Structure 1
């Protein structure tokens, strides 16, 4: 990955938008308030950890332990009274006991509940997004365009999109439409025991099997072939409507449509069949096959928000979303947050979120799928489950930005903690921090 090249590529793609906006600027216009008064810089960071016993890498059993640290900078630059250029760049570094078991045989006795030291045990993800927005003179029309690039050890993605927002009824009503396209390319990584069974491979004569003893079914013969297509495309279209119902109440509705096609299976996720005898090396069961999912998926999500300003201390924020897709999953999400303003500068954010979903048509737990099925997966993200999330945050705001770092005045600090629990013996925690600065 070459971050400098990504920055240069994004800058080149944004040049036409910048040039057009600058040419349209009329220096003789009457005074109007700038959309953004000065450059703003946001630094966002998080620490995430999870654990569970249903790793998809090892066919629905085994450790799901993972930790992830992220850092993101978002720089918003006013180009003139009406236009804003935003550059968003971030890096995420994780270590995963689960994904390390793509190759569980590289370091001592193999076991699905123990991490190996393979190359897939850690990775670095990087993203760069550039966006440009333009507001009309009366601030009732807003157009935006963006491009993004992201990369990881087994995939590369480029995306682009745009949006249009219309405000009317004295800005009490807002309509918007947005669209995004993502073009992804996998560098497919397969479970290590399956690789000798590709065309031209050594099969059971491979060193993995001659150097180790297969227990259970010694006539190991998996169902395996590489994916012909390693590309994936995602097309997203969203609509939203927002209305101020009362001076203290605001509501919004949203509809999101997503079409995906291409390689939607994860190449390194194992599946074990009920009708095939088990084969082992050490304590690790050898894969019968890898996840097979359709190459098309259509998703629809419909949601709404209601925010109610109760008084100077309390605000109520509620959210509900209904989701369904053509893989058989339906889900409900409901959340509530109650910001509590304890001083002019400090606000507390207690929150609760509930989620439940049905299983995908192709999901089967460990050793429940049949080898005669066309599609199958033991990824518990596609299983039936319910989840609860508790959150708490605190925000500090200094509108006068008295604290400074170099030429940057500190405008706000946000700290939040979330605890998430599924009824499938999966749990996670995340701590996030955000710092907003403005350029003097």
Structure 2
């Protein structure tokens, strides 16, 4: 497996060098003294928001059983500023606030109700806020055939902090009918591990039942509760990605593109607060809540490869057919297929509707076990159904309003477009979700 990963790394580096060499070998044939159109005429401001909700009965926090109920409200502002004719600076700020029944059961005993994996705890662990701030600088050559970009990002949540950076190169050929791109990104994450509350007293082999947490609680079922629990020593996770893209105008009404992505991750890839229940250990309970036998254990490295393509067919001035397919695999044993279609239909000069459908299917990771299917002698195990075998369908509908003349104004901002979309997602497990998004694009007068 290590040899296979080294081969992939070599291929990535070789392709990257070839693309960069081809980019620099091309001569600048543009007339630099002629009129040059600005890449971005004026400052643009996007306000995006979404409301997401989900439910299911296979929460990873409670070992593959229990409520997955979650709601999330997200707000995003994106500001794109033209620094001059060739350069653009884009600032992207996101705040996401969620309430999660499953994550509330990291400590199911901190609420006022009896502990139960199918009932959300009312304690402080049931909600949190995720924030992200990123900046991207983009430079275009005088002939607009070459574009360079660089980006930085920081994000934080209650149990981790992430810092990321990267860059990209895009080249246009064949009178801008052909586009080739390469991008690379690195994310350096630091965890502040939070473990299931009943396991904490047993860290490093301690006799947890003598701890104050258990002194005022009654254990039923297997009263000799003695899990083996060690804290993770590595609290970092690093991710490295390289993406290659190719786009070609195939005809007057047809455009296609291909993409190939490689991702390498190292470090803490397990989620510290996700429980696992073993088949060979008797169950222990406090109230109606089953106590963890262990926490999720996954390898400390992962290599992912995804390749796919898009084909857009402009049927006429009113209808476009957008199709997409992607194949994915990794060295954890997951293989997946994604296929989607979207059909924008232009009703008037200003209004367009977007019906869409997406199908997804994946195999299970080698380390997935359902509730009480893993054994204590196993080395790696998880009961996270995101890593299980499943298929899913997603139906969507969107509506877009566009006013190229920006007649409506808010302060010094002219309204350019409004987009509202709704998606309904269902797995062939018990999991389902829905999301409503709204976006408003303004341009500075």
Q: Shorter-chain-normalised TM-score: which range?
A: over 0.9
Q: Which runs of 5 or more residues in structure 2 are unaligned? A: 1-31
The answer to whether residue 356 in structure 2 is matched with residue 351 in structure 1 is yes
| Maintained 8 Å contact 2:205/2:228 | no
Partner of 1:212: 217
User: Equivalent of 1:242, from 247, 252, 259?
Assistant: 247
Distance across 1 between alignment mates of 2:235 and 2:213:
26
The answer to whether residue 56 in structure 2 is matched with residue 63 in structure 1 is no
User: Equivalent of 2:91, from 87, 90, 93?
Assistant: 87
Distance across 2 between alignment mates of 1:207 and 1:278:
21
The answer to whether residue 16 in structure 2 is matched with residue 37 in structure 1 is no
Distance across 2 between alignment mates of 1:303 and 1:370:
37
User: Equivalent of 1:251, from 251, 256, 272?
Assistant: 256
The answer to whether residue 159 in structure 2 is matched with residue 154 in structure 1 is yes
The answer to whether residue 372 in structure 2 is matched with residue 367 in structure 1 is yes
Q: How far off is 1:206 after superposition?
A: 1.7
Q: How far off is 1:247 after superposition?
A: 1.1
Q: How far off is 1:202 after superposition?
A: 5.0
Distance across 2 between alignment mates of 1:436 and 1:129:
19
The answer to whether residue 407 in structure 2 is matched with residue 392 in structure 1 is no
Partner of 1:296: 301
Distance across 1 between alignment mates of 2:361 and 2:216:
46
Distance across 1 between alignment mates of 2:384 and 2:94:
27
Partner of 1:21: none
Distance across 2 between alignment mates of 1:105 and 1:341:
54
Distance across 1 between alignment mates of 2:99 and 2:149:
36
Q: How far off is 1:210 after superposition?
A: 1.6
Q: How far off is 1:30 after superposition?
A: 4.4
Q: How far off is 1:201 after superposition?
A: 4.6
TM-score if structure 2 supplies the norm length? 0.92
Partner of 2:138: 133
| Maintained 8 Å contact 1:195/1:201 | no
Q: Which runs of 5 or more residues in structure 1 are unaligned? A: 1-27
Distance across 2 between alignment mates of 1:223 and 1:274:
15
Distance across 2 between alignment mates of 1:100 and 1:137:
54
- The SS at the match of 1:399 is coil
Number of paired residues? Answer: 413
The answer to whether residue 154 in structure 2 is matched with residue 122 in structure 1 is no
- The SS at the match of 1:355 is strand
Partner of 1:175: 180
Partner of 2:9: none
Partner of 2:102: 98
User: Equivalent of 2:203, from 189, 198, 201?
Assistant: 198
RMSD: 1.0
Partner of 1:25: none
- How do 1:258-273 and structure 2 match up within 5 A? 258-273=263-278
Runs of 4+ in 1 over 2 A off after TM superposition: 28-31, 199-202
